[in-house]
Chain A
Amino acid sequence: MTEPGTAARRARAIRLHRALHAVWDTPPGWARLGAVNHSIVGRRFMLTALFFFVAAGLLAMLLRTQLALPLNDVLGPGAYAQVVTLHGTVMMFLFAIPFIEGMALYLLPKLLGARDLAFPRLSAFGYWCYLIGGSVVLGSIAFGAAPDGGWFMYTPLSSKPYSPGIGADVWLLGITFVEVSAIAAAVEITVTILKVRAPGMSLGRMPIMAWYLLVTALMILGGFPPLILGSVLLEVERAFGWPFFSPEKGGDPLLWQHLFWLFGHPEVYIIFLPAAGAISTILPVFARRPIVGYAWVVSAVVALGFLSFGLWVHHMFATGLPRLSLAFFSAASLLVAVPTGVQVFAWLATLAKGRPVLTLPMLYILGFFFVFVAGGLTGVMVAIVPFDEQVHDTHFVVAHLHYVLIGGFVLPILGAIYYWLPQISGRMPVFGLGKTAFWLIFAGFNITFLVMHWTGLLGMPRRVFTYEAGLGWHAPNLISSVGAFVLTMGFALVALDLFLQLRHGRSFRRDPWNAGTLEWAMPTPPASYAFASLPHVASRDPLHDDPTLPQCLAAGEGYLGRVREGRMETLVVSMVDAKPEQILVLPNQDRGPLWTALSLAVFFGALLASLYWLAPVGLVLTLVFAWRWAASGAMRADPPPEDAGRGVVLPLHVAAARPPTWWAMPFLLLADAILFSSLAFGVVFLAAFAPGWPAPSPPDLPGVAALVCAAALVGAGSAGVGAGWANRRAGIARGVARDACLAVAAVASTVALGALARLALGLAPTSHAHHAVVGALLAYVALHATVGLILSAFCLRLSLGGAISALRRSPVEIAAMWQLYTAATGLVALVLALLAPEALRPPEVVR
């Protein structure tokens, strides 16, 4: 049975494995602190998220125990407020989103046929931020200092006068720190999906999961900045008294609600989409046919991504907005059911046209159908304005959101865990403990939350720590509490099952589910390098096309089937049609991300402890480590193009026009632009609608300083672009011109900073929201000018060190992008700052 050549092939595969392993492996022990490998970081994210899930679940059990009886006394009002706030916060920010990120980081390179992510160190950095921030947020309850204003932290309850303790600061700073990691992961995921795929895997041939994750990542870039901005503004109000949200001084509590729900609603879809992606991946495998309507589903997901940004107001139906805008947002909220419907029917059609088998992951998906569709239907109900005005802020909404989140996220994700765990561990389930667990979860969940709709309709508001008898709330609450214990038992059994499967599962040869995607085209558990050589992809299910693909790849018959100069390499392809473009050289084991995250933690910790003198120290440290990190990949000479296998010769990424780092910039700036738009929205909103405007004494902004600032910003932008242009061709004169332009940009940025400081002198930010928002605009511009200055200095340093040439030009171009962005937003910010607020005020609002 041994074919000729098979033995040689096997020997080749083993040789290649050893060579790759030597380069890619992260040894255990202290080296793990510097681990950047996507499998390790992804697993860390997922495990940490599951820990937070357990913690938040137990908090929920305390709540359910307290509510089981009228006037129960397990938790008092203060403790209840902390526990309920943390339950929501931890589930949303520390479980759902990070778990998705972890899953994406772990799976993406394997799905896309790459060896690692575009920026392995960035995801490691994100993990440390998440771990530190998350631990502080959860740990706060051990000291009774947890946030207690509800997970959406409405002002003024969360403002200083009504929440004088440290709890609200823990929330604002901790969550912002965690969101740094979300933004990092989103940039990582976006660039990886768009640029770091297997050759031949055009956008239309991507596994459908990649589409879902791409849309999710872009939604994170669009959805998180408003919350980051809101958190920063609220923290500044709490710490320094700038009255963005205080109605006595021209602020408006509704601004917080707008910013929060601008984030909060997309957040729901950010959580749902990856789970739906898992369904779109798993369901066809067990229906034993490809998914029906791939293009329909992809379009629906993209549509969902856009629509989800247009319905945040449906969380604010009771705030007394004009009826017309309520009708608009009500319609938009109903419309969002359409792309969801397309997906559901695509799945149903796939089942109807396939020959489905009821495996455990499939069982969870069936559970999903019931629970999520029920949640969607109650979602339609609460999108109807009058009905929402009745059930808003009651347990009906609590039940609805748990149907959507547990149905739309937890159940599919449990299915996904059972589906992909063999890929992670190399072991299959032994015995159907999982089925018992499923039924406990399913029954427990429905007992708990189906009844809770009724509790809400009987008038029980959310977040009450207790209630008296005689309101009809006792029986349904008791049933819910009993159900919650059944649900907990189910989760406990899942934990037991997974633990035992990891230790004692049956090992298997490849692809136990007969799936067609690339993550199964490797030995399991996967090696650190994922693929010994990279495939050329010709369809959506490469493994179905060529069942021998794993062996070919292991034997090094794909791209990059060799180790050269001890480098870790993967391929960068063109965005749409996936033609190989560059060889991406990746870093291994770097503690830079850890140090950077720790420095940033010093900054956040100093703010939290009100040690404001220490905060700049943290920032400077962060800067130092970030600088070292950014400079670490520099090369002193132009590297020659290299053979990438299969007859393709490619440049290394440092010598390519647009390496992944270049691509990261537009997406980072996208998030930044949304942050800026949110700020501009806030300025306009306050000026137009807030009570107490105009300010008794408006800011005194000298026109000359504003003009100087604008000119300097434009100058810095032009100089940045000029440096990039000068650098396009080689030559001594060109080099001098480039360096001169960089120097000019640095000087112009400094001048702009000086002018901004002069403008800031005319402000009294604690006196009125007008001063405060102008201060925020100026601070935004100043921050960007400072970063521009640092980038110019960084490029100059690289340039003088010989690390920049016409080929190795991306640092200069990235800096130029930043300078241009700074100039554009700076001009808008200056106009907004100088604009008289009366110009924005609709006449009928002026009283």
Chain B
Amino acid sequence: MLEIWLKAFHIAVLSLWAAGLVALPALIGPRGAASDDEYARRLRFTRLAFEFVISPAALFTVASGVALIFVATWETPWLAGKLAAVGGMGLLHMLIGRGLSRHARRLEAGPALRGLITLGVLVCIAAVLGFVLGKPPLPDTIFPAFMRDGRPDGFLDGIDLWGALSGGVRQIAAAGLLLPALPRILLRRRDAEAMLEDELAAVPAGEAHEEELEAGQRQAPGQDGGLEILDPVRPVEREHGEQRHGDDAVRPGRRAAPRSRHQNHLAEARERGGAAHDEGGARAPHPGAGEEGVERPPIGRVGGGDPEGAGDGEGDEHRMDRMPEQRDAAVEIAERAGLVQDGIDDVRTVHAHLVSSSSRRLRAGFLVCLAGGLGGCAGPLSTLDPAGPVADGIATLWWVMFAGAVAILVVVCALAIVPFLQARRGDAVSSRVPRDAVWLAGGGLAFPLVTLTALMLWAFVIEPIDDAALTGEEPVRIAATGRQWAWTFVHEDAPGGALALDGVMHVPAGRPVEITLASVDVIHSFWVPRLAGKRDAIPGRVNTITVRAEAPGTYAGLCAEYCGEGHAFMRLEVVAHAPEDYAAALARLVADAEAPR
């Protein structure tokens, strides 16, 4: 949990710092028509913001970032990019600081400089966010060689978190970043109070102070560069897990067995293709790591034997301490999800498994995805790519409501903004403005009543109901049962009695399928977005939903109601067969089910 708090704190101070950098260039704008008093207040205000809020925020950002680096591991390419961007923020911070001290009496900077600073700040912030959130797949060669070097295995096992933290703080202090800056900032308090006089005095006061402060602040961003220096210092290094860790969007320290060298080897292996695979596998024989040339090993402690590091529990608490009780559940999930045969025995390992299996696609798709943006309604779970009559009707409903909503929103916003424009132009209140009753009774009462009644009636008319009873067709019946965290589908029409399948449901295309929904534990919700809306499976009750797939194919579905830790991967599949093939498909499935016995 400590790591989560640290991250939250880091996010908070980073936001404050970034916000300050965005705002400061505006503050050092031209004096304009401000009176002496106002201008003096602005000076004081700006300096205070800079010295007591934004600069400390910057220091805390870097400090918490450094701490996070020690809590987690960080040999990951994008981090270097992030540090560069943070360095950029630091430089601009310094630049603004210089502006503030140089022009002690006047904060003004020219529009070009301010524009440049603002642009730089925005670029840096965008870069930081891009690196941290997007974790773009940069080549590993971006690291200097010494950072890619491995360290002896097990070197850091058992180092305690607080040791690492205090080590980090010592490093910062030793680097002369934090301590020299602090007293100066604290000492400025008196000056700040007397600042109004200072600003209005003939001789700029506190010039020396400013210089010192500036010196201190100039160093602050150097912390980012300092990281590289800090790193090789042995006692603070640690391997805290196999993850790519950043000082920002980083990962809890699961101290699985992997070592960084191992990881790097694996990373190289990935680059070279399968050639290095054996080596990676040999160094750490993780089940599941094999086939795909995993760029990172599985997450869970597969062997289960990692000793608890002394005093280190806290950092891992949210996963590690709960391991024993979660383990059983996790095994169950994995069994139900049919993943046991892959040697995966943990929810989080399921997660890791998916990471590894999808990582290539992820990397390949990354740029495409960003470039493509939001384009396209398609997607295996998209409600706007309907494949059944109900979902189709709802998609139409959506597009019509969307168009109407945009129109209404535009009109309302125009009505709100136009009076301001008129008042700014100095127009008199137009006599053409309708009377109160028109606004209230017309806009407030009649307009929504008419629109909404129309919408309601129209929705009723086209309301997509697929009910076998209405069409007179004989539906296919399937009984679905939800449990934590899987679905079971009993095909009642199967030859030779009911056929139960986990996670997959076989239906004939073009025919209504009536699914009864039950749950044996908590509430789940059955949803196949491309076919129809969702319906809850509630313990103690039986609900029904009818779906129909227009064409043969496979349609993905999921549990839509939060049902516990395995909720995110409680998926299902609907396989629609051509009607004439359905019976044969069921027979084949029955045979498959009986074959192993």
The interface residues of chain B lying within 8 Å CB-to-CB of A388 are: 533
- Annotate B500-539 by CB proximity to A: 1 below 8 A, 0 otherwise: 0000000000000000010001110101010011111011
Q: Give the most central of A61, A458, A476: most B CB within 10 Å.
A: A458
Interchain CB contact under 8 A, A353 and B348: no
Q: How far is the CA of A474 from the CA of B137 in the complex (A)?
A: 15
* Least CB distance, A672 to chain B, in whole angstroms: 31
Q: Is the CB of B133 within 8 A of A65?
A: yes
Contact B412 A386 (CB under 8 A): no
A393 proximal to B (CB < 8 A):
yes
Q: Which residue of B lies closest to A254 (CB)?
A: B538
* Bound CA span A658–B492, Å: 71
Q: Is A433 an interface residue (CB 8 A)?
A: yes
Contact, CB under 8 Å: B318 / A387: no
- Once the chains are docked, how many angstroms separate the CA of A503 from the CA of B376? 51
Residues in A neighbouring B423, C-beta threshold 8 A: 354-357
Cβ of B564 within 8 Å of any chain A Cβ, yes or no, is: yes
Point out the residue from B23, B318, B362 that lies within 8 Å of A78, measured CB to CB: B318
In Å, the complex CA distance between A174 and B22 comes to: 39
Chain A at the B interface: SS class: helix
Q: How far is the CB of A64 from chain B (nearest CB, A)?
A: 8
0/1 string, A812-847, CB within 8 A of B gives 1: 000000000000000000000000000000000000
Within the complex, the shortest CB–CB distance from B518 to chain A, in Å, comes to: 11
| Most A Cβ at <10 Å: residue of B394, B521, B559, B560 | B560
Q: How far is the CB of A390 from chain B (nearest CB, A)?
A: 5
CB <8 Å contact, B381 and A458: yes
**Contacting pair A390 B533 (CB below 8 A):** yes
Interface residues on A, range: 35 or more
Chain A residues with CB under 8 A of B166: none
User: 1/0 per residue B1-29: CB within 8 Å of A?
Assistant: 10011011101100110111011001100
Q: Which of A346, A377, A440, A504 contacts B444 (CB 8 A)?
A: A346
B383 touches A482 (CB 8 A): no
Give B299-336 as 1s and 0s: 1 = Cβ < 8 Å from A's Cβ atoms: 10000000000000000011101100010000000000
Question: Which residues of chain A are near B4, meaning CB under 8 Å?
Answer: 62, 75, 79, 83
Which residues in B have their C-beta under 8 angstroms from that of A61?
8, 11-12, 15
Q: Are A485 and B129 in contact (CB under 8 A)?
A: yes
**A381-B401 Cα distance, complex, nearest whole Å:** 7
Q: Once the chains are docked, how many angstroms separate the CA of A454 from the CA of B383?
A: 10
Contacts of A251 in B (CB 8 A): 540
Question: Does B543 contact A338, Cβ atoms closer than 8 Å?
Answer: no
Known: A144-B321, A481-B133. A65 touches B41 (CB 8 A): no
Q: Taking each of A82, A143, A475, A692, which has the highest tally of chain B beta carbons within 10 Å of its own beta carbon?
A: A475
Q: Which A residues are in CB contact (< 8 Å) with B338?
A: none
- Is B463 a contact partner of A77 (Cβ separation < 8 A)? no
User: B22, B319, B448, B525: which contacts A436 (Cβ < 8 A)?
Assistant: B22
Chain A residues near B393 (CB, 8 Å)? 386
Partner of A366, one of B417, B439, B544: B417
Task: Give the distance to chain B from A411, nearest Cβ to Cβ, in Å.
Answer: 13
Q: Which residues of B contact A320 (CB under 8 A)?
A: 517, 535-536, 538, 541, 543-544
B534 nearest in chain A by CB position: A318
The minimal Cβ–Cβ distance linking B483 to chain A, given in whole angstroms, is: 11
Q: Mark A222-242, 1 if CB is under 8 A from B, else 0.
A: 000000000000000000000
The reply to whether B42 and A470 contact each other, CB–CB distance below 8 Å, is no
Q: Which of A156, A352, A358, A374 has the most CB of B within 10 A?
A: A352
**Across the interface, do A493 and B22 meet the contact criterion of CB distance under 8 Å?**
yes
B-facing mask of A433-450, CB < 8 A → 1, else 0? Answer: 100110010000000000
State whether A391 and B383 are in contact (beta carbons under 8 Å apart), knowing that A73-B252, A352-B433 are contacts in the complex.
yes
Q: Among B154-162, B206-214, B365-373, B585-593, which stretch is in contact with chain A? A: B365-373
Docked Cα-Cα span, A690 to B538, in Å, equals 12
Residues of B near A394 (CB, < 8 A) are 560
Q: Which residue of B lies closest to A76 (CB)?
A: B319
Q: Are B565 and A300 in contact (CB under 8 A)?
A: no
Judge if B449 is at the interface, Cβ distance under 8 Å: yes
- In the complex, which of the residues A254, A334, A347, A381 contacts B456, with contact meaning CB atoms closer than 8 Å? A334
A370 vs B299: C-alpha distance in the bound complex, in angstroms? 45
Interface residue? A380 (CB, 8 A): yes
A493 near B20: Cβ-Cβ < 8 Å: yes
Contact B419–A386 (Cβ < 8 Å): no
- Do B521 and A162 have beta carbons less than 8 Å apart? yes
In the bound assembly, the distance between CA atoms of A472 and B374 in angstroms comes to 8
Asked if A51 CB lies within 8 Å of chain B CBs, one says no
Question: Is A695 interfacial (CB 8 A cutoff)?
Answer: no
On whether the beta carbons of A470 and B408 are closer than 8 Å, the reply is no
Kindly state whether residue B194 has any CB partner on chain A within 8 Å.
no
Interface hit among A461-469, A704-712, A788-796: A461-469
A459 interface residue per 8 A CB criterion: yes
Asked if A500 is at the interface of the complex by the 8 Å CB criterion, the answer is: yes
A691 within 8 Å of B by Cβ?
Answer: yes
Whether A678 is near chain B, meaning CB under 8 Å from some CB there, is no
Which of B172-180, B182-190, B350-358 has 4 or more CB atoms under 8 Å from chain A? Answer: B350-358
A454: nearest residue on chain B (CB-CB)? B374
Residues in B neighbouring A490, C-beta threshold 8 A: 19
In whole angstroms, what is the CA distance A292 to B438 when docked?
11
Q: Roughly how many angstroms separate A478 CA and B561 CA in the complex, as a whole number?
A: 23
Name the residue on B nearest A79 (C-beta).
Answer: B318
Tell me the bound Cα distance from A492 to B536 in angstroms.
41
Docked Cα-Cα span, A392 to B126, in Å, equals: 33
> Do A71 and B11 have beta carbons less than 8 Å apart?
no
A337, B455: Cα distance in complex, Å: 13
The residues of B that contact A157 with a CB separation of less than 8 Å are 522-523, 562-564
Q: How far is the CA of A810 from the CA of B277 in the complex (A)?
A: 86
Give the complex CA separation of A377 and B412 in angstroms.
Answer: 11
> If the complex has contacts A71-B351, A318-B535, A385-B463, are A437 and B409 also in contact, measured as CB distance less than 8 A?
no
A386 and B12 alpha carbons, distance in the complex (Å): 41
CA distance A162 to B383 in the complex (A): 31
Knowing A62-B4, A386-B464, A472-B379 are in contact, say whether A373-B412 is a contact too (CB < 8 A). yes
Q: Which residues in B have their C-beta under 8 angstroms from that of A154? A: 522-523, 561-562
B445 touches A369 (CB 8 A): no
Q: Is B146 part of the binding interface, using a Cβ–Cβ cutoff of 8 Å?
A: no
- Residue B167 CB within 8 A of the other chain: no
For B41, B348, B534, the residue with the greatest tally of chain A CB atoms inside 10 Å of its CB is B534
**Is B143 an interface residue, CB under 8 A from the partner?**
no
Q: Does B116 contact A (CB under 8 A)?
A: no
- Residue numbers in A under 8 Å from B361 (CB-CB): 469-470
* Chain A residues whose C-beta falls within 8 Å of the C-beta of B452 in the assembled complex: 334-335, 337-338, 380
The answer to whether A466 touches B568 (Cβ under 8 A) is yes
User: Residue A342 at the B interface, CB < 8 A?
Assistant: yes
Asked if B380 is an interface residue, CB under 8 A from chain A, the answer is yes
A54 CB within 8 Å of chain B: yes
Chain B residues in the interface with A (C-beta under 8 A): 1, 4-5, 7-9, 11-12, 15-16, 18-20, 22-23, 26-27, 37-38, 41-42, 44-46, 48-49, 53-54, 125-126, 129-130, 132-135, 243, 248-252, 299, 317-319, 321-322, 326, 347-348, 351, 354-355, 358, 361-362, 365, 369-370, 372-374, 376-384, 390-391, 393-394, 397-398, 401, 405, 408-409, 412-413, 415-420, 423-424, 429, 433-434, 436, 439-440, 442-445, 447-449, 452, 455-456, 459-460, 463-464, 484, 517, 521-523, 525, 527, 529, 532-536, 538-541, 543-544, 558-568
In order of increasing CB-CB distance, the 7 nearest A-B pairs are A247-B540, A389-B533, A459-B381, A342-B444, A345-B443, A349-B439, A472-B379
Q: Interface of A with B (CB < 8 Å)?
A: 54, 58-59, 61-62, 65, 68-79, 81-83, 141-144, 149-150, 154, 156-157, 161-162, 247-248, 251-254, 287, 292-293, 296, 300, 318-320, 327, 330-331, 334-335, 337-338, 341-349, 351-358, 366, 369-370, 373-374, 377-378, 380-381, 384-394, 430-433, 436-437, 440, 451, 454, 457-476, 478-479, 481-482, 485, 488-493, 495-496, 499-500, 503-504, 506, 690-692
Can you identify 12 A-B contacts, CB atoms within 8 angstroms? Answer: A73-B351, A83-B4, A142-B1, A247-B538, A351-B416, A354-B423, A394-B560, A430-B38, A458-B382, A459-B382, A475-B372, A496-B23
